Amino acid sequence: MVRIQNLIILQLVAVTIAQLDDDFYCRAKEDKWAICRRCLETDKKCFQDPDGCHCENVQVADPKQNDKLIGGSDCKDGFCYISVESSNCSDKWDGYDPFAYTLEDYWHQGSTTDDKLFKSKVACEKKEIFDTGNKEVMNGVQILEDYLYGVTEITEGGNLIVDSTPKEPLTVFADDYTECMEECKDRCGICGGWSFDETEGICYLHTADACCGQKAKQVATNSNFVSGYFCIHCWSTKNQCPCSLKKRLSGQLGCSIAQNSGGETPHYNNPTGKLQVHSTPINEDKCKCEGKLFGKGRRKRCRCIKPQCSSDFDDGKCNSGCCDKRRCRERASKRQRQSCELK
């Protein structure tokens, strides 16, 4: 019985460690740094961090290419960043990086202590690659929650009815997933993720809240979908985000769209306005097709045909009706056909 109890305890400990390994809070400053931590505190190391010489989930801007971040835990640059005071890597004093060393106001313990960032190659010998979220492209994965809602526009008669009350997710038709990705990026902080249905060609957009607790909002069994994230300022793999909604909505550098000033909703609706239906008169299309019945008896069908061209001209100027000869008939049919309602 004791051995069984010990085995259960060991299994629970293993599950707890696995959960901690999978739990990351991340923040970034565009063109400066991107850092993922296992805890929200920055006054000391996180207790979940592994012991010994290990890479930390820190990327710093490349001084030679400001739009590129280097030094990640994947060691693809041949090194990774470590906290020099709290690390026991044998080469920790050899990797002085003037740009990383002089960073200020970055989300790490070195910003409030003297535990500065140094480069290490030895840490890469035992590299552990963790899934810290915010993947740009995920094949076979669909994001399921935090759909972005927009206004619904319906034309009835001569009115354009705009319903700003969220009812259906905002979708866009796209040729491929790259267009869906660009649709998300162009929304300047309002969109935090996207999912593209390759079979239907439909792009689903997700709010800035999709950046938080990402792994609980994904399904990896739908082969028809390609998804990705566009979280610029912060994100998390399981729990709350380490920054406010207002910060997440602020958009990327060079973004020209003014977003929601209150930061109270991840949607387009202004929090100071009312959700209601608006009707706006629109110009009637005088060249739209007309419904006419063709055939006899049970074979009658309602078809849409061009209207008759207008004959009402004054000094060469069309006063009424359709005057675009590309969209109208020069002469009326000899046979008067019954009008019908197009479905």
Position 303 pLDDT exceeds 80: no
pLDDT tens string 40-74: 988 888 888 888 899 999 999 988 887 789 999 99
CATH number at residue 175: 3.50.4.10
- The per-residue pLDDT of the chain, averaged, comes to 79
User: Would you say 76 and 68 are in contact if contact means Cβ atoms under 8 Å apart?
Assistant: no
DSSP label of 18 = H
Average pLDDT over residues 264-284: 56
Burial call 249-266: b when 16+ CB within 10 Å, e when fewer: bbbeeeeeeebbeebebb
Residues 167 and 262 reside in one and the same domain: yes
What amino acid occupies position 265?
Answer: T
Percent of the chain with pLDDT over 70: 72
The answer to whether residue 133 sits within a structural domain is no
Q: For 185, phi and psi rounded to 5 degrees?
A: -65, -35
Residues 227 and 333 reside in one and the same domain: no
Residues 269 and 292 reside in one and the same domain: no
Pairing of strands 152-156, 159-163: antiparallel
pLDDT number for residue 15? 36
**Higher pLDDT residue, 5 or 160?**
160
The answer to whether residue 132 sits within a structural domain is no
**Higher pLDDT residue, 157 or 248?**
248
User: Would you say 81 and 100 are in contact if contact means Cβ atoms under 8 Å apart?
Assistant: yes
Residues 153 and 223 reside in one and the same domain: yes
Which run of H or E residues covers position 266? none
Residues 85 and 14 reside in one and the same domain: yes
Which run of H or E residues covers position 173? strand 171-173
pLDDT number for residue 282? 54
Angstrom distance (rounded) from CA 265 to CA 71? 35
Angstrom distance (rounded) from CA 204 to CA 149? 10
Number of structural domains (the chain) is 3
Tokens for 141? 């994965």
Position 12 pLDDT exceeds 50: no
Q: Which domain holds residue 268?
A: 138-280
Residue where a domain stops, chosen among 280, 301, 318: 280
Comparing CA positions, the residue from 221, 180, 214 lying closest to residue 197 is 180
The answer to whether residue 210 sits within a structural domain is yes
* Range in 136-150, 167-181, 272-286 with the lowest mean pLDDT: 272-286
Residues 86 and 175 reside in one and the same domain: no
Residue whose tokens read 């008759």: 308
